[in-house]
A and B are shown apart, each in its own frame.
Chain A
Amino acid sequence: MDSMADIKQTFFQECDDLLGELESGLLDMESGEGDSETVAAIFRAVHSIKGGAGAFGLDKLVAFAHIFETTLDEVRADRLEATPDVLSVLLRSSDVLADLVGAAQKDEELGEERTAGLVGELSAFVGASADASEEPAAVGEDIAFAPLGMDFDLDDAIGDLDGPEDTQCYTIKFRPQPELYANGNETVLLMRNLADLGEMQVACDESKIPTLDELDPEGAYLAWTITMHTSHSESELLEVFEFVEGDCELEISLDEAPSDTTESDLVDNEATPTGEEVATTDVEGASASAEDEVANKDNVVQLAEQKDKQKPAAAAKASTEKDTSDATIRVNLGRIDRLVNLVGELVINQAMLTQGVIDAGLERGDSVESGLEELKQLTREIQESVMAIRAQPVKALFQRMSRIVREAARATKKSVHLVMEGEMTEVDKTVVERLADPLTHMIRNAVDHGLETAEERIANGKPAEGTVSLTAAHRSGRVVIEVSDDGAGINRERVKKIALEKGLISPDEQLSDSEVDNLLFMPGFSTVDKVSNLSGRGVGMDVVKRAIQAVGGKISISSKPGKGSTFSISLPLTLAILDGMVVEVADQTLVVPLTAIVETLKPTPSDIHELGAGAKVISIRGEFIPVIDAGRSMGYRNEPVDPLHGVVLSVETEDGARAAVIVDTIQDQRQVVIKSLEENFGHVASVAAATILGDGRIALILDVDSIIAREGSARLFHETNLAATG
């Protein structure tokens, strides 16, 4: 039971990948980049999902996948042209397929209404093209899971080299090995499946059966030679044997190949162990060598795929190369995290060793020193490679967004075009995962609030179709993701009016444009008068901002009236490492996250003002900011330090509160490996986490938010701020 659940889990994981391939393929086609290879990949993805779903008895999923697949088959066979209309239906079908998979995973049922409409649309395509084709009976409304309704011959579809030849005669030599039975496969079932594909004659070869005393009851001694007439392609025949591939000797050959003389040559060549001899420059030869590569992987199975043979050699080669370069394994995330941790140790240890060598006072040019230098390089490379394991392209995330755009566009009845750039930019897996919700929200916002209606757009001289672009790029050690629209831009007057109504600003406040834009991030701000069922769900941009800050990111807006708005998110590459400023306070080394620091400055006596009993504020460009003595706040010393003797770090919290933190000196600015305090101790006020310095000592990472909150200066800030501006 458990192992079944495991297998099912694997199936759903694979479904995720397949759905990703499906969607990216469809999007490629939409942008006109798709070729027949893309269509084939899409078809395969749906087919694999259908196959897996059938095995788990997910009937609804199978039924829908079948119709979807049938339509795709039409496209693959060039009987149905991939017009924008068709693609739109296909894309929506892929969304529904994803939903069905999701529902099946959660053991839920998806309402009929989700699928019913699309089933009609898909069937209409099939019906229309089927009428025009030679075999109208081929694709029916039959939605049961059985590889029926695929009588369209692939060969027929790809080229007309063969003429109108419908059925071909294959000889299949099939010799199961004991493993086949040991793995729970059953020859009878394979034969039955094969029988579904066409007419066949089976001859059993009993010659290998030993005498009774030598007979191993669990051995496999029978072999079969199957002669079959079928309109299906060889690859479809091979699919029957998909699950027993490694456990049997299988040879499929085409007996009568009209007008394809190389075919028989190839079959002959299969007998010779290396195909290199026949790998000449002509098309067939090249594809034969590519196939030999496949065959070499598994010496038992000889593949001679009819499909590839009639394609340019390049395509066949490309697909083989792709197989090796894209090879992946699934690894438990915990293992990778452990590796990341260990490499963090290695980095620290290497720094300690370097420090030790310096302290030992070795001569310059000593072999130890050069050895250490190499170690340092290696460590850095290992660290980068390990981080790269966790890094994932944002592609999968972006693709999900294309669906959000489609849905949002439909819900708002706007016509929207999504442009994506930099999908291959890599970010830490955790960052990618935690970005999904805020990005969804921003995309919906862009479509719902950012873009105008088609009429308004035309009136403003813009194309009726709005554009939302989603880009990702590496910029100075961080990843910047931008969501922009070419809509009307932020209506600053309205934003101000709402902020006033909600009491977020005072009436006589003078706000710069960017300050007005940033009001959108204030908690409890929502510009839409009526709550739309799309984006106005009571969560505003403040939630987005908090989610992004939670992964160490920053968000900013820029907007031009009439031209559109751009939200840009800047993210760290990883969560395990933090950019920090190493400072000293009362002989203690602390690290202040760089994301929190706005600026650093040396105050002059005129900058410092007393406010009430003992409280100080500092004026930075006319703004009064409360001063916090880090040493006192952390309990390192009792006497307040004179701000003039220290360095002031102007910091900003996640909710926009500012403070000036006084430290003794700034030592360095560097990346530090984040270590949890909670693991062995518990949360400590004012401390976000710890890190290990080059000398092996622990330094604490300051929690700027909590230090400001603890000082009670969040309140003070608002009062002084209003006093200053009012």
Chain B
Amino acid sequence: MSDTEIKKSEDALELVAFCVGDQEYCVNIMSVREIRGWTKETSLPLTPPFVRGVINLRGSVVPVVDLASRLGLETTEPSARHVIIIMQIGEQAVGLVVDAVSDILTILTEKIQPTPDVSSDAARDFVQGVLAMEERMINLLDLSTVLPAVSAEGIAA
């Protein structure tokens, strides 16, 4: 099936892929509001370590989450080369700090494989499924578990 045929198909899914450490993750393009360079956040007191702080997104206060730290990987030391992907999850806008955006993909939903049964908690909690692209494995991020957990802990803190 050619790319255009896939796009026409009802089961087609457009994804934004990005690098976190040496892993590759992706999210549905429809939940991405914008991608911007990293800017210094204002840290929030008494929040979990993976909440880096808040930034000013044209007048809205948007929280920024260090995705690597959230996934249990090494904490990111962000620099100007890092990017923040602003996600729209339901009513909330949340920024994810990642190393770089790597690809925009169009795939059929049937290509998504179930998450292999591994011992990592992060993998079980945050990965909805995996994709095989050429030689790479791309994890489909489950935003619903990554982000509401942030708010819930924020409230609890």
CB pair A698–B154 under 8 Å, yes or no, is: no
CA distance A690 to B60 in the complex (A): 10
Q: Considering the complex, which residues of chain B in the window 143-157 have a beta carbon less than 8 Å from any beta carbon of chain A?
A: 150-152, 154-155, 157
| Listed stretches B44-52, B66-74, B75-83, B131-139; interface member | B44-52
| A635 near B42: Cβ-Cβ < 8 Å | no
From 621 to 639 in chain A, residues with beta carbon under 8 angstroms from any chain B beta carbon are 633-636
Total CB contacts across the A-B interface at under 8 A: 84
**CB <8 Å contact, B42 and A700:** yes
Which of these, A635, A676, A686, contacts B61 with CB under 8 Å?
A676
Q: Which residue of A lies closest to B62 (CB)?
A: A680
Question: B58 on the interface (CB 8 Å rule)?
Answer: yes
Does A295 sit within 8 A of B, measured CB to CB?
Answer: no
B9 lies within 8 A of chain A by Cβ:
no
Chain B contacts for A696, CB-based, 8 A: 56
A355: Cβ under 8 A from any B Cβ: no
Q: Mark A294-313, 1 if CB is under 8 A from B, else 0.
A: 00000000000000000000
- Check A684 for interface membership: any CB of B closer than 8 A: yes
Instruction: Known A680-B93, A692-B59, A700-B44; judge A685-B54 contact (CB<8 A).
Output: no
Whether the pair B59, A345 counts as a contact (CB closer than 8 A) is yes
**Cross-chain contact A698 with B54 (CB below 8 angstroms):** yes
Give chain A residues whose Cβ lies under 8 Å from the Cβ of B43: 588, 636
Judge whether A344 is part of the interface by a CB distance below 8 angstroms: yes
Main SS of the interface on chain B?
Answer: mixed
> Are B59 and A684 in touch, CB under 8 angstroms?
no
| Given contact pairs A588-B42, A634-B46, A682 touches B154 in the complex (Cβ within 8 A) | yes
The answer to whether B96 has its CB under 8 Å from any CB of chain A is no
Do B42 and A679 touch across chains, with their CB atoms under 8 A apart?
no
Residues from chain A with a CB closer than 8 A to the CB of B53 are 698
Q: How far is the CB of B121 from chain A (nearest CB, A)?
A: 23
Which residues of B, 5-56, contact A by the 8 Å Cβ criterion?
40-47, 53-56
Interface size class of A (residues with CB under 8 A): 20 to 34
Asked whether A635 and B46 contact (CB < 8 A) given A683-B154, A683-B155, the answer is: yes
The contact string, 1 if C-beta is below 8 Å from chain B, for chain A 636-648, is 1000000000000
Inter-chain CA distance A677–B43, complex, in Å, is 13
Q: Which of A635, A681, A696, A698 has the most CB of B within 10 A?
A: A681
Which residues 411-438 of A sit at the B interface, judged by CB distance below 8 A? Answer: none
CB nearest neighbor in A for B154: A682
B44 → chain A, closest Cβ, in Å?
Answer: 5
Minimum distance in angstroms from B16 CB to a CB of chain A: 20
Asked if A684 contacts B44 (CB within 8 A), the reply is yes
B113 at the interface (CB under 8 A from A): no
Docked complex Cα distance between A466 and B31 (Å): 65
Do the beta carbons of A680 and B60 come within 8 Å of each other? yes
Report yes or no: B154 in contact with A686, Cβ–Cβ below 8 A: no
| A341: interface (CB < 8 Å) | yes
Residues of A within 8 A of B45 (CB): 633-636, 684-687, 700
Q: Which residues of B contact A684 (CB under 8 A)?
A: 44-47, 154, 157
Is the CB of A697 closer than 8 A to any CB of chain B? yes
Cross-chain contact B61 with A680 (CB below 8 angstroms): yes
Structural contact, A686 and B46, CB atoms closer than 8 A: yes
A406 in the interface (beta carbon within 8 A): no
Which B residues touch A341, using CB under 8 A? 59
Chain B residues at the A interface, C-beta cutoff of 8 Å: 40-47, 53-56, 58-63, 91-94, 150-152, 154-155, 157
Q: A633-B45, A634-B45, A683-B154 are in contact. List 9 more A-B contacts (CB 8 A).
A: A588-B43, A677-B61, A679-B60, A680-B94, A682-B155, A684-B47, A687-B44, A687-B45, A692-B59
Q: List 11 A-B contacts (CB under 8 A).
A: A341-B59, A345-B58, A345-B59, A348-B56, A588-B42, A677-B54, A681-B63, A681-B150, A682-B150, A683-B155, A697-B56
List the 8 closest A-B pairs by CB distance, nearest first. Answer: A634-B45, A682-B154, A345-B59, A682-B151, A698-B42, A681-B63, A635-B45, A690-B61
